[in-house]
Amino acid sequence: MNAGYILNPNENHGLRDIVLRKVLREIFSLSKVGGRSIFDADIIDLSSVEIRREWRNIDLLIILDQDVIVIENKIDTADHSDQLRRYKTIVDGVFANKHKHYVYLTPFGSDPIDAPSREHYVNISYSQIADLIESILCLYGDSISSKVSFYLKDYLLTVRRELLMNDRLNELAVKVYHAHKEAFDFVFENKPDPASELYPNFETIITERRYVMGSKNKGYARFTTPKLHEILPHVGVGWPDKEIFLFEIDYYWSGKSAKFKAAIAPGDESLRNKIISAVKNSKYYKDPQGKKWLVIYSKKFTFDVENIANEDDAERNKKISAIIDDAKPVIEEFTGLIERVL
C-alpha cells in the first residue's frame, strides 16, 4: 500500500481525511516547531492538501495551507550523507512562510543517526502506524468498502510480519529453516535475513544470564530482570506486550553497530515519572531526548550484523555476551533503584 495514496483524502479509497488527520495528530503532538497542537489536527482545513512523493528525493511531502510535513521513511537503512539536514535546508527555503514539521519514520521509532537532525526531526514508528490502521478498521470497518477493508488488513499484516516481526509465522519460519537448512539453501540459495538469524543467539545468552525476554520485534532483543518483570505492570503503549520499561539491544537498524538502551515506553505517566525519579541520580542516567520514548541510557558497540550472521554460534554468542556483560552494572543499578520506589 502506498503511504501517499492512503494519506490523500482526495483519492478513491473512501476513507476521506480520516487517516491524514490521525497522522497529523501524532505529528503535531510531537512536533519540535511551535504553532500547532494535537487539537489543530481535527479542525485544520485539508481541502487543498497536496502530497508529493520523491520531491527533491524526500520520500513524502504533505503541503497544507499553513503547514508542510516532511516524512523520511527508513526501513532497512539509516540516514546518511547529511541527507536530513539537506532536506530541511531545501524545505526551509521553499516553504519559508509555513509551519514545518520533520518526521523520521522507522519500524520502531528510532532517532536519526545524524545528531543535529535529532533537534528537528520527530520519530514515528510503524508500530504506531499499525495501531492507527487497526483503530480505523475497528471504528470504521462497517462503513468502508470491502475492498478498502481488505487493503488495510493486508497492509496491517504486512507491516507486522515484515517490519515488526511479531507475527508467529516469523518464529515458525526460522524453526523450519533450521530444521531443513541445507535443503532451503540449495533451493533458494539464500538465508533468512540476519535479524532473524541472530535473534535465537541473543535469546540464548540473555536467558542464560537469567533475564526475562521482552517484546519481540525484528532486529531488537528486549529483556528485563525477574524482579522488574514481577513488579512493573504492562501499561505501556508501543511494544507488542505493553511493557513500560525494558532493556533493549538494537542490533540490526544501526548500521555496523549495536546499541544497548534502557528505555521507557509511552503510557502511564505516573509510573513513567516514578521510574525517572528512581534512576535520575544514577551515574548511568542520561536525560532523554524525546517526549514519548524515553531512552535513559544508551551505549554503542561495534557489531557488523551481516558478518556476524555468517559466523558459527560460538563466535556469535561471544560477541553478544560482551554486550550483555558490559551492560550488567547498568542493569543491576537501574533494577535496584526502580525496585525501591515500587
Sequence spans of domains, the chain = 3-163, 180-341
- Give the pLDDT confidence score for residue 285 in this predicted structure: 96
Rounded mean pLDDT, 268-279:
95
C-alpha cell at 298: 544508551
- Give the pLDDT confidence score for residue 125 in this predicted structure: 83
**Locus of grid cell 535520575:** 280
CA-to-CA distance for 184 and 178, rounded, in angstroms?
9
- Give the pLDDT confidence score for residue 157 in this predicted structure: 77
Shortest CA distance to 114 belongs to which of 91, 86, 90, 138? 86
Contact status, residue 51 vs residue 64, Cβ threshold 8 Å: no
- Give the pLDDT confidence score for residue 119 in this predicted structure: 84
For the chain, give the mean pLDDT: 85
Rounded mean pLDDT, 175-184:
60
CA-to-CA distance for 159 and 171, rounded, in angstroms?
16
CA-to-CA distance for 174 and 213, rounded, in angstroms?
18
Q: 299 burial class (0-12, 13-18, 19+ CB within 10 angstroms)?
A: middle
Grouping H, G, I as helix, E, B as strand and the rest as coil, residue 248 is: strand
- Give the pLDDT confidence score for residue 164 in this predicted structure: 58
Model pLDDT for residues 319-340, shown as the tens digit of each residue: 999 999 999 999 999 999 999 9
Mean pLDDT check: name the lowest of 64-78, 170-184, 261-275, 300-314.
170-184
Q: What torsion, rounded to 10 degrees, do the Cα atoms 307, 167, 27, 54 define? A: 60
Grouping H, G, I as helix, E, B as strand and the rest as coil, residue 325 is: helix
User: In angstroms, what is the C-alpha Rg of the chain?
Assistant: 21
Model pLDDT for residues 147-168, shown as the tens digit of each residue: 778 878 887 777 776 665 555 5
- Sign of dihedral through CA atoms 248, 229, 124, 194? positive
- Looking at domain 180-341, does it have CATH number 3.30.1460? yes
CA-to-CA distance for 249 and 260, rounded, in angstroms?
4
